[in-house]
Amino acid sequence: MHTPHVTPRFRNRREAGRALASKLSKYSGRRGLIVLALPRGGVPVAYEVARALEAPLDVFLVRKLGIPGHEELAMGAIATGGVRVLNRELVQSLGIPESLVESITAKERSALDRAERLYRNHRTPADLAGKTVILVDDGLATGATVVAAIKALRNASTARILVAVPVAARETCEQLKSVADGVVCAETPEPFRAVGLWYEDFSPTSDDEVRELLEAAANQPASGT
């Protein structure tokens, strides 16, 4: 099938982050603000946002709890800070035993804990209670991971949750307005098709880059604490 030529909007994720930061300038230097990145691709974007807004940066990991035999479908999710969001109605309607839910949760929590250790290098997760969170990714197609992250963040007693991305499908941005306290999508090209089309360089972000950027952000003064 012929794919029409599109002109990328961003050279790379760091440039996209700077463009996104300019849309969030009213939050610059605000107290009680934290920028959370969805790894891995969201981290270079969020690094630039946090630096521009003089806010602390952290990662927020989300692992989907897949339905046995249909792992692409989610019955819930777990996230940073030990939070679990579960669709109890779905679990009951499918007759999934509690023991199986717990074993799947344990498996995904083990993977999440490994990633936490890998990225944080012994730094503890930020305390999110009462904070205004800007949740950042490199783009949104369906927004399923972001929705899971928002639900988990609600359980962490955050004050406000803003979703901010450089590029997204327009309908996804609209849908997220019903679950987040604010949504900033810098670019909503039509037709959208895929996040990677709008970057010249959309090569995968490495674990090393995630670690380096988090380390660099931790060593920068932040006024938003």
Task: Tell how strand 83-86 and strand 132-136 pair up.
Answer: unpaired
Tens of pLDDT, residue by residue over 148-192, are: 899 999 988 999 999 999 999 999 999 999 999 999 999 999 999
Bridge partners for 182 per DSSP: 162
pLDDT at 2 (0 to 100) = 46
d(CA 50, CA 61): 17
Is 217:136 a contact under the CB 8 Å cutoff?
A: no
d(CA 196, CA 113): 28
Question: What pTM does this model have?
Answer: 0.90
Q: Where are the chain's structural domains? A: 13-62+126-218, 65-120
Tens of pLDDT, residue by residue over 44-79, are: 999 999 999 999 999 999 999 999 888 888 899 999
The CATH class of 13-62+126-218 is alpha beta
Q: Which residues of 140-149 are buried (b: 16+ CB within 10 A; e: fewer)?
A: beebebbbbb
Is 128:157 a contact under the CB 8 Å cutoff?
A: yes
